[in-house]
Amino acid sequence: MPAVRVGIGFDIHRLEPGRPLVLAGVEVPADRGPVAHSDGDVVLHAVADAVLGAAALGDLGEHFPDTDPVWKGAASAGLLSRAVDMARAAGYRPAGADVNVLLERPKLAPHKPAMRARLAELLGLEAAQVNIKARTMEGLDAIGAGDAVAAQAVVVLEGASTA
């Protein structure tokens, strides 16, 4: 029986006008984007955190602290790739991912196929092993007011020696 591990990740960033909105490595046209130390891609941050959690390797902030200037403006795709490499070194590989993106606007439906494909590519998976869902907050809290974006992710890892 293969070793299976599950990790949960979460990220949230405040939004400000004039900044790019990048989700799952895809730039989404929007009038606001995240304020962050890196590029602020909440999807890739949540997934990377879930990968690290599933492999029992700590969390994103331990490995890529926002106090370290080397990560200033870093592309989150690189952070996720490093997290996947760390999981592989620990004997695990991604087997699936499910993500909730919490954002009032813009609507993400037109962008979800590209987001899913890019996330699958970064995890070394087929698109059928990755799911992206978009949720609004029905006008509630900072997300609902359009002042923030968040993502929740669940990642399944399996022992790298399994087929």
Count other C-beta atoms under 10 Å from residue 51's C-beta.
30
The band of 161, judged by pLDDT with boundaries at 50, 70 and 90, is low
| pLDDT of 32 above 90 | yes
| pLDDT of 117 above 80 | yes
The pLDDT of residue 2 is: 54
User: Mean pLDDT, to the nearest integer, of 156-160?
Assistant: 93
The pLDDT of residue 66 is: 80
| pLDDT of 162 above 70 | no
pLDDT digits (tens, 9 = 90+) for 43-94: 999 999 999 999 999 998 898 888 887 877 788 999 999 999 999 999 999 9
Give the total number of structural domains in the chain: 1
How far from 73 is each of 12, 76, 137, CA to CA, in Å?
Answer: 16, 9, 28
The pLDDT of residue 1 is: 35
Give me the domain span that covers residue 26.
4-159
Cα–Cα dist 17/147, whole Å = 10
Residue 31 in contact with residue 43, Cβ under 8 Å? no
Choice between 163 and 83, residue whose per-residue pLDDT is larger: 83
Choice between 102 and 67, residue whose per-residue pLDDT is larger: 102
In the chain, the percentage of residues whose pLDDT exceeds 90 is: 84
The pLDDT of residue 150 is: 98
pLDDT digits (tens, 9 = 90+) for 2-29: 589 999 999 999 999 999 999 999 999 9
CATH classification at residue 110: 3.30.1330.50
